[in-house]
Structures are given as C-alpha cells and as structure tokens.
Amino acid sequence: MAPQKASNSAGRVIAGTARGRLLASPGEGTRPIGDRVKETLFAILEPVIRDRAFLDLFAGSGAAGIEALSRGAQRAVFVERDAGAIGTIERNLAATGFAGPRARIARSQVGTWFNKDAANAGTFAAILIDPPYDLPELLLAALVSIEAAGPGGILAADGVVVAKHFWKTPAPARIGLLRSARERRFGETTLTFLRWADPASDEEGEEDR
C-alpha cells in the first residue's frame, strides 16, 4: 500500500509547559507528525532531551521541536527549506510561547545545512529526521552526515537519532557506528531509533518491535 495522503492537521502539544496548545499545519503536501506517534516518540526521548538540544530536520510545522521545548529541551533547531512551512513554524512558536533564543529556524535544504551550518550548531542530544516518505535517499544522506561527524559531533555520544519513515522503506540497521536500537510502527509510519555503538564492539542493537 502506498503512503496515504498527508493530513492538514498538525495536532497539539502533548505534554509539558505548552500542553494542549493546537498547532497550525503548513497545509497540503505536508505530513505533520501525528499525536499518537509524537506521544510515543517523546515518552522515549524526554529523559534524553531535558536541558539539552534537539534538532528537527525537515521540520514542516515544527511540531516535533516544539514538543521537545515544551518537555524541557534547552534549545531546538528547526531545519526546513519551504517558505510556507517556515511561516507556520514561526506562528506555532509564537502560539506556544517559544519564539525567542531557545528556538532557531534555519531556512535551508538539509544537505546544505549539514555542509555549511552544522559545524557551528553545537551538539544535539536527539535528532529527528522526517523527510518525505517518497524520498528515502534524503533520510540516508542525513544519517551519513551525522555518522561522519562522529560521536560528540552533531549527535552527542549518548544521543539518539530517530528516523521517521514509511514502513515498507526500512531505515538502515547500521551506518558506521550508528546502529538501530529499536523500532516502533504506527500504521504506515515507522520510527527507527539509532544510537552510537561502542567502537570496540561489533554488537548489534537490540530491536524493540
């Protein structure tokens, strides 16, 4: 079955200081992260991101980065190329009270951002990669860039990167020292969580399906 048509709703903030606030969607052609997916994702990520940085790649409405800020992330960076989506992120940040120094929006292709800006963006405790489902090569390219920077580069040594993708197009189980640690499926959507492996060990992560 092909990926379903994107929803026009960006849902709400699930928990934290902005709990219950409704979020605008960029509109047709976008796929905002659903509330059920968001709830599960941040139940896992909340202990990791508290007082640390979150990176929202292919940010769309900004719902993931805003959820991270609501749950105590120190800062969030939103990388998005579309001008309409950028405007939506700005509105959502204002509506949730997060417009300001804790939130930075980078209008850029994700690949360009890695090449030009990532080195000066700091290290992130968690990264969400959420490209269009029909462009899995963008997901792979982002993972390659994160892995190339090594532990403590773009992704903290104890950090986690989450790939959101169509369930029939799996994320790589390993890229260099990044290894799949668990998976969660929600209908057509799968979240794959990758962490750094011990360079002295070749053990696989334990998948939680």
Geometric angle at alpha carbon 68, from 16 and 191, rounded to 5°? 120
Q: In this predicted model, what pLDDT tens digit does every residue of 131-160 receive, in sequence order?
A: 999 999 999 999 999 999 999 999 999 999
Residue ranges of domains in the chain: 35-196
The CATH number for 35-196, chosen from 3.40.309.10, 3.40.50.1100, 3.40.50.150, 3.40.50.300, is: 3.40.50.150
Instruction: Compute the distance between CA of residue 11 and CA of residue 138 in angstroms, rounded to an integer.
Output: 25
pLDDT of residue 162: 98
**Do residues 133 and 102 touch, judged by C-beta distance below 8 A?**
no
Residues 6+ apart with CB under 8 A from 93: 62, 66, 99, 103
pLDDT score of 4 more than 90: no
Span of 10-14, 47-51, 145-149, 170-174 with lowest mean pLDDT: 10-14
Instruction: Compute the distance between CA of residue 191 and CA of residue 41 in angstroms, rounded to an integer.
Output: 8
Count, in order, helices (H) and strands (E) of the chain. 5, 8
Q: In this predicted model, what pLDDT tens digit does every residue of 73-110 receive, in sequence order?
A: 999 999 999 999 999 999 999 999 999 999 999 999 99
Instruction: Compute the distance between CA of residue 200 and CA of residue 136 in angstroms, rounded to an integer.
Output: 30
pTM greater than 0.75 = yes
